[in-house]
């Protein structure tokens, strides 16, 4: 889908479907009012008849308005004028997008982003609109037999901005949105695929394909013999029960100056987490195919940067494997030696994410990164603490944490800071090894992060626990594409 920002008002625009914002009480946005005049006040008549109250999230399609600039008009409720906010703006967009996609329009013109939205500038007004429509258009890779559902016809979204002054910012907004949508769609595709399709080798193949498609990307794939040579005993202990070979994927994006230190993105790529010998309970175990979303977000973010030709150096590092029980699986009590030399007593084989990440974090040092960010569906405790709204962020650097928090707020892909460090790390003590891979239930998200913290001494590091935000459960089960928007926003802010 193509996204365009336009400063031309609704009056002169011709479109298959104009989306006209209406506040409670019948107040139209300035551009929708323009359109109404061009349509001989037909929208006003519909409102006077009492057919549409403008409640936030309501929509009403007026399919045949006769001759005029718009073949259809979709009324989009904006709620009360007084409560008008970033949240209601995004909510109205989220409601309008599926309604536009359901009708037959190939081209749509948004007339609700022109006016002021509190705390949102022209760039983000346009970016949110394009991002939410792009995300709504996403379709899960179809593995259902029978007729494929037709893709929506909409192939062009035009976002009207207030005037000439806003145009350049809005154009940048839709450009960045298109890249975020491309990246997040890759992330969602990979995460939604079942674990028998999306294996570590499959992820490696996707990384190679990205490198072929974009000249600034280079991919290197390491197999198990190389991981052994590197001494990645922690990573290898997780894959030992599986018949699928593990991979370490290294994806370099070089868009910045030759000498400038890269940002390292380390993504947890457990393509299926059964728990291993510490087997998980059956209910919802299928959702552990999403346990590679951190990895998928790294690939998606690198793709978005390449689409934008962003002027930054980034290295993606993805340890990818399965966590399975078998005769060769790691057993509770086994002691493994990490690449850093520190030994770990594996008290629970279901705390596997930290074991693959610690070796990948150690590996990241060879790139002398300016900052290292790991992204992982790491703990159920994080979901208990924060629910589905915010990812957790833990960091050993306040400036980096603040930058990521700010990027999350701006991109509406937010995170919330939780503590990490010595006092939580102490809960991991072991009688037999340097430390254990689990502590008690208390503060589980922070003890997991503090395990990683032991491997990033001297690095500027942040950890994003996305266990609650990576995917939705229930009737709308599926990957959300988070936190690609957050990561792209952060990385662009560094350029
Ligand atoms: N992949 C899970 C974490 C997870 C749980 C992600 C629920 C998404 C939803 C992780 O590998 C895991 O199993 N963590 C354990 C750690 C525990 C054994 C200390 C957990 O959270 O239960
Ligand atoms: Mn686990
Ligand atoms: Zn896991």
User: Using DSSP, how many helices (H) and how many strands (E) does the chain show?
Assistant: 15, 20
The pTM (predicted TM-score) of the whole model is 0.97
- Gap from CA of 419 to ligand 3 centroid (Å): 21
- Gap from CA of 98 to ligand 2 centroid (Å): 35
380 is a domain residue: yes
Q: How confident is the model at residue 67 (pLDDT cuts 50, 70, 90)?
A: confident
Please identify, among 160, 177, 200, the residue that sits at the C-terminal boundary of a domain: 160
For residue 270, the enclosing domain spans 185-493
488 is a domain residue: yes
Tokens of 213: 């498609």
215 is a domain residue: yes
Catalytic residue numbers, as ranges: 280, 354
Q: Which residue has 């990818």 as its token pair?
A: 320
**Do 306 and 201 fall within a single domain?**
yes
- Gap from CA of 492 to ligand 1 centroid (Å): 31
Integer CA distances (angstroms), 202 to 207, 221, 332, 375, in order: 9, 12, 29, 19
Report the nearest atom of ligand 1 relative to the CA of 270.
1
172 is a domain residue: no
**Do 221 and 358 fall within a single domain?**
yes
359 lines ligand 1 (CB under 6 A): no
**Do 57 and 193 fall within a single domain?**
no
**Do 134 and 223 fall within a single domain?**
no
Alpha carbon dihedral 278, 281, 284, 288, in 10-degree steps, equals: 0
Cα–Cα distance for residue pair 94/104, rounded to 1 Å: 18
- Gap from CA of 351 to ligand 1 centroid (Å): 6
Decide: 133 and 105 in contact? Cβ < 8 Å: no
The rounded mean pLDDT for the chain is 96
466 is a domain residue: yes
Question: What element of type H or E holds 322?
Answer: strand 313-323
For residue 442, what is the domain's CATH number? Answer: 3.40.630.10
Q: Is 6 helix (H, G, I), strand (E, B) or coil?
A: strand
Percent of the chain surpassing pLDDT 70: 98
For residue 58, what is the domain's CATH number? Answer: 3.40.220.10
Please identify, among 160, 193, 224, the residue that sits at the C-terminal boundary of a domain: 160
Q: Which of 348, 380, 448, 449 to mutate to test the pocket of ligand 1 (most atoms within 8 A of CB)?
A: 380
166 is a domain residue: no
281 is a domain residue: yes
Cα–Cα distance for residue pair 248/252, rounded to 1 Å: 13
| Residue 101, pLDDT score | 97
380 lines ligand 1 (CB under 6 A): yes
462 lines ligand 1 (CB under 6 A): no
Number of domains in the chain: 2
**Do 107 and 140 fall within a single domain?**
yes
pLDDT exceeds 60 at position 319:
yes
Report the nearest atom of ligand 1 relative to the CA of 353.
11
| Residue 368, pLDDT score | 98
Cα–Cα distance for residue pair 380/401, rounded to 1 Å: 22
346 lines ligand 1 (CB under 6 A): no
**Do 320 and 433 fall within a single domain?**
yes
Tell which residue, 430, 417, 316, has the closest CA to residue 372. Answer: 316
| Residue 162, pLDDT score | 79
Report the nearest atom of ligand 1 relative to the CA of 291.
1
Average pLDDT over residues 37-55: 94
291 lines ligand 1 (CB under 6 A): yes
- Gap from CA of 39 to ligand 3 centroid (Å): 56
Report the nearest atom of ligand 1 relative to the CA of 352.
11
**Do 133 and 207 fall within a single domain?**
no
**Do 348 and 443 fall within a single domain?**
yes
167 is a domain residue: no
276 lines ligand 1 (CB under 6 A): no
pLDDT exceeds 80 at position 115:
no
**Do 438 and 301 fall within a single domain?**
yes
What is the tens place of the pLDDT at every residue in 338-394? 999 999 999 999 999 999 999 999 999 999 999 999 999 999 999 999 999 999 999
Q: How confident is the model at residue 150 (pLDDT cuts 50, 70, 90)?
A: confident
245 lines ligand 1 (CB under 6 A): no
| Residue 165, pLDDT score | 85
| Residue 262, pLDDT score | 98
């Amino acid at each position: 889908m193509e996204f365009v920002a336009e400063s031309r008002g609704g009056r002169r625009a011709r479109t298959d479907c104009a989306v006209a914002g209406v506040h409670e009480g019948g107040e139209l946005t300035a551009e929708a009012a323009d359109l109404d005049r061009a349509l001989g006040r037909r929208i006003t008549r519909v409102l006077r008849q009492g057919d549409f109250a403008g409640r936030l999230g309501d929509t009403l399609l007026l399919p045949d308005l006769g001759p005029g600039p718009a073949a259809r008009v979709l009324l989009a409720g904006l709620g009360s004028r007084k409560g008008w906010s970033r949240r209601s703006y995004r909510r109205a967009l989220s409601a309008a997008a599926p309604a536009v996609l359901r009708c037959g329009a190939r081209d749509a013109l948004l007339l609700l982003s022109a006016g002021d939205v509190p705390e949102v500038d022209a760039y983000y007004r346009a970016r949110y609109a394009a991002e939410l429509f792009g995300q709504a258009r996403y379709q899960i890779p179809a593995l259902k037999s029978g007729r494929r559902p037709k893709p929506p016809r909409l192939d062009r979204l035009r976002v009207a901005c207030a005037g000439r002054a806003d145009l350049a910012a809005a154009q940048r907004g839709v450009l960045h949105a298109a890249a975020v949508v491309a990246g997040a769609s890759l992330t969602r595709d990979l995460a939604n695929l079942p674990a028998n399709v999306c294996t570590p080798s499959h992820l490696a193949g996707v990384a190679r394909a990205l490198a072929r498609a974009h000249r600034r990307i280079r991919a290197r794939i390491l197999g198990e013999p190389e991981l052994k040579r590197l001494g990645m005993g922690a990573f290898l202990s997780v894959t030992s029960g599986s018949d699928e070979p593990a991979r370490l994927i290294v994806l370099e994006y070089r868009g910045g100056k030759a000498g400038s230190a890269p940002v390292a993105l380390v993504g947890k790529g457990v393509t299926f987490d059964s728990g291993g010998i510490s087997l998980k309970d059956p209910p919802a175990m299928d959702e552990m195919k999403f346990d590679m979303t951190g990895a998928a977000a790294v690939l998606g973010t690198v793709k978005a940067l390449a689409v934008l030709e962003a002027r930054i150096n980034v290295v993606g590092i993805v340890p990818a494997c399965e966590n399975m029980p078998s005769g060769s699986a790691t057993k509770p009590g086994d002691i493994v030696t990490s690449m850093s030399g520190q030994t770990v007593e594996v008290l629970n084989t279901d705390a596997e994410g930290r074991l693959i990440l610690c070796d990948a974090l150690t590996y990241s040092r060879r790139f002398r990164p300016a900052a290292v960010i790991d992204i992982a569906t790491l703990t159920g405790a994080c979901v208990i603490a924060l629910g589905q709204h915010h990812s957790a962020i833990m960091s050993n650097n306040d400036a980096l944490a603040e930058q990521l928090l700010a990027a999350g707020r701006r991109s509406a892909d937010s995170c919330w800071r939780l503590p990490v460090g010595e006092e939580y790390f102490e809960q991991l003590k072991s009688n037999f090894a340097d430390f254990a891979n689990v502590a008690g239930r208390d503060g589980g998200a922070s003890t997991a992060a503090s395990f990683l913290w032991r491997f990033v001494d001297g690095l500027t590091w942040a950890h994003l626990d996305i266990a609650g935000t990576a995917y939705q459960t229930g009737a709308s089960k599926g990957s959300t594409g988070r936190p690609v928007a957050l990561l792209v926003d952060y990385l662009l802010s560094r350029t």
